[in-house]
Amino acid sequence: MRHINITDINSVANAREATRDIAESLHFPDRDLRPVLNIVSEIALACVDLGRTGKMSVSGIVRPDFRGICILNRFPVAPAAEDADDLGCPSLTLGGMKSLSNHFQISRTSGEVIINAVKWASS
């Protein structure tokens, strides 16, 4: 598991590098790596665009029949955003991330948005 503090545009590159490292250790197929990198980038860029600091964790999932990459990101949200799906940030392309992920969940608790995405390796 790798933890990345998302603070600026350099953090996006750090998150992508951590994801590549995990994917390589899992022998993740190249065709599945690109969507994961896009998901990581969009989530990290959303934090940067909002001018907020986020905490991202990227981890590998290994099960007997499949393997995947899990992205978990937490960042504070302005109290004005009433709905977890409406963060007031155009770069957070939820529809695109949902379609790239095998599992995608976004929730909000006490001033914080939590995004969880999983991409499984294709067989």
Where do the domains of the chain lie, and which CATH numbers do they carry? 2-120 (3.30.565.10)
Which pTM was predicted?
0.85
Burial of 14 (0-12, 13-18, 19+ CB in 10 A): middle
CB 122 within 8 A of CB 32: yes
- Report the chain's mean pLDDT, rounded to a whole number: 86
80 or 120: whose pLDDT is higher?
Answer: 120
Q: How many CB atoms lie within 10 A of CB 20?
A: 16
